Chains A and B, each alone.
Chain A
Amino acid sequence: MKPKIAVLMGGRSLERSVSLKSGKRVVRALEHRGYDVISLDVDENLVPRLLSDRPDLVYIALHGKYGEDGTVQELLEIIDIPYTGPGPLASMIGFNKVLSKELFRENGIPTPGYYTISSSALKEMGASELLGDAWEKLGSPLVVKPAAQGSALGVRIVEKWDDLPDALIAALGYDDRAILEEYVEGCEVAVSVIGTEDPETLPVVEIVPVSGFFDYESRYTPGKTDYFIPARLDRKVTAEVERVARATHELLRCKDLSRVDIIVGNDGVPYVLELNISPGMTETSLLPLAAEAAGMSFEDLVERLVELALA
């Protein structure tokens, strides 16, 4: 008998609609492969449902808060049901760009320079006085993003000083803390890493948004972004990108899966922007794309993740 799998999707995160797309595709793939599948839109009945249905495995197709920040993973540890993707710690760190960048920095993984600023520091400590310093030190343009949020929601590239406050407001709409990050010019790539010990990388995907910026719309609207697989990088740089992606995956002690987003600077250095523990699985998502380039169909990919989680 094939195992019974509960696919978690939806939930109350702002990436709900993307997650529902990911989840439904995963459900279809698992059903085709003959698994007994339950779809669960995450709400207050999640734990009771898991306790009564007792699936053999939980497939996490959630994106954003609660699904990607370790919340659900912690629950599954308590209930003691195996699940796809990394555990609570890697999730918590991966979802929090401040924590992850700090770890990258300490462990020799290149990441663009940055400062963080919280809305309470602005409101209660007069922190706006420091923005000029940050602007000067990081140089322009710079990237403003929420410390914790996926799908590039709330991310802006700021070229003019006058636009900085507005970008901060947009970022702080998604999280209490915003990151001001050095803008690295170069080639944007995503590397999917699969496995735990001795993980392997899938072909590197190069992202070229038509608008110049890989925002929410570019991510989920076919035709708004061009992708190149493998990325148009020379062999040496590609190898370095893959090495750094694996090192990032291992540093955060990711189980089974992650997608590492990187900018290869014009200096050839791969700067890690962030690590995602539950990458998108929609028709325009990067992980399935990379898998396909490696000769793995979507169903193969999903089944592989299931097998890893059950191993």
Chain B
Amino acid sequence: MSPEIVFDPYTRLYSEASTLIRSSGIRDLLSVTGRSDIISFGGGLPYIGGLPPEDFSGVMNDVMREGFTKAFQYGETEGLETLRSRLVEVMAEEGLGAEPEHILITTGSQQALDLIGRIFIDPGDTIVMEAPTYVGALSAFSPGGPRILTIPLDDMGMRVDLLEEVLKRDDAPAPKFVYIVPNFQNPAGVTMNRSRRDKLMELADEYDLLIIEDNPYGLLRFEGEPEETLARRDPHRVVYLGTLSKIVSPGIRVGWVMAPAPVVEKLAALKQSADLCSSNLTQMFAEAYLGQDMWKKNLESQKVIYRSRRDAMLKSLVKYFPKEAHWTHPQGGLFIWATLPEYLDTAKMLPQAIEQKVAYVPGTAFYPDYAGANHMRLNFSFPSEEQIVQGIKSLGKVIRKEMELYHSLGLDHS
């Protein structure tokens, strides 16, 4: 008898792809931030507390009364036809024209990312992402084993000029797609400006690129003028992802993909094997909710709250962060991206912050190669203004203490 203990007797059965699943100890550390006495800038939660429950229960009651047998039945894989029509109206709010046939309802846009990864990526394929990029897209695409080419972004979004340089190289492998969050990017909070959008679509033509445009926050603009979506510029080159998670609720898990017909068909075939269909119940809720004007009214009041929270955070950052730090000024969305002196490592600093009852997500989470150690993502939609002021104040102290420590070790240079 072998004395060796095997906790996981299935190890030999796991697929190669399962070994590529991204996991991190940071998630465990952040589990402590679910506690009420910790001010968390870590999550990406919309502020549901700001919504009127009676609006939601009214709509839900109507659904139960009028659609009981349908709501609790299986549905079509593509999603409810009636909801897809409503989503066409939602997209029209951003100037996007669409046909319901080109829409596939997904279980949040996270499912869309997973499906996209699986229909496009073979091991070793090149895909392009922003650096930093959405952590959920990284985890959705990674099991496919792609080579991830990252293009840095700045205050005006992805550095399309750098993308062009890469594409120009003779030995450059043709990327399967370019994944981008053009509005109020997660984690950076920045929005791609018009000229870069123009340039990106030019490159798409020139190099025959497919763009995955992930737009969860577009309707959460509380300042400035909206930019035209990429999908509107060229619907044949863009797979567009939308979601109700940030403008209605993440609890209903309703997202969607709008894509050229053959892509929708492929995605739908895969979705069928993934979960047959999204929940009729929550789709019917979404349809009914979007059918009434209250959704716009509620969204407007959410935006007022988010705007004043963002303002509170920006003001506190100026007041409490060291002068060596800088950060983005989002005109919408949920996140501010702070950049600390280059020698600092926000992952190493996180336990100190948690000890001081404040939390954030370290920058490394948003890079495929775990670069970006001197950045942190700060969420302003969920904590209250008082919490934001207090939390940024504490965080400022933690950063200064850490800078002193680096100084004492002669490490405060890049």
Contacts and interface: CB of A to CB of B under 8 A. Distances in A.
Contact of B351 (A174, A227, A289): A174
Contacts of B28: 17-18, 216, 220
A122 B409 contact: yes
Contacts of A223: 7-8, 11
Given A12-B38, A14-B32, A223-B7, A173 B408 contact: no
Nearest to A131: B409
Given A12-B35, A122-B409, A173-B350, 6 more contacts: A14-B351, A119-B408, A127-B408, A166-B411, A223-B8, A226-B5
Nearest to A10: B35
A217 B23 CA distance: 10
A217 B26 CA distance: 10
Interface string B386-414: 00000000000000001011111111000
A122 B3 CA distance: 47
B349 interface: yes
B354 interface: yes
B32 A16 contact: yes
10 contacts: A12-B38, A13-B32, A17-B32, A123-B408, A165-B409, A168-B409, A170-B348, A173-B348, A283-B7, A284-B7
A217 B32 CA distance: 17
A127 B405 CA distance: 11
A93 B349 CA distance: 26
A173 B349 contact: yes
A229 interface: yes
Contacts of B298: none
B351 A153 contact: yes
Contacts of A168: 409
Contact of A169 (B25, B37, B411): B411
Interface in B1-48: 3-5, 7-8, 11, 23, 25, 28-29, 31-32, 35-38
A119 B349 CA distance: 13
B155 interface: no
B125 interface: no
A44 B408 contact: no
Interface in A233-283: 283
Interface string B156-199: 00000000000000000000000000000000000000000000
A226 B352 CA distance: 32
A107 interface: no
Interface string B340-357: 000001001111101000
Contacts of B411: 165-166, 169
Nearest to A122: B408
Contacts of B7: 222-223, 227, 283-284
Contact of B32 (A12, A123, A166, A284): A12
Nearest to B345: A169
Nearest to A175: B351
Contacts of B345: 169
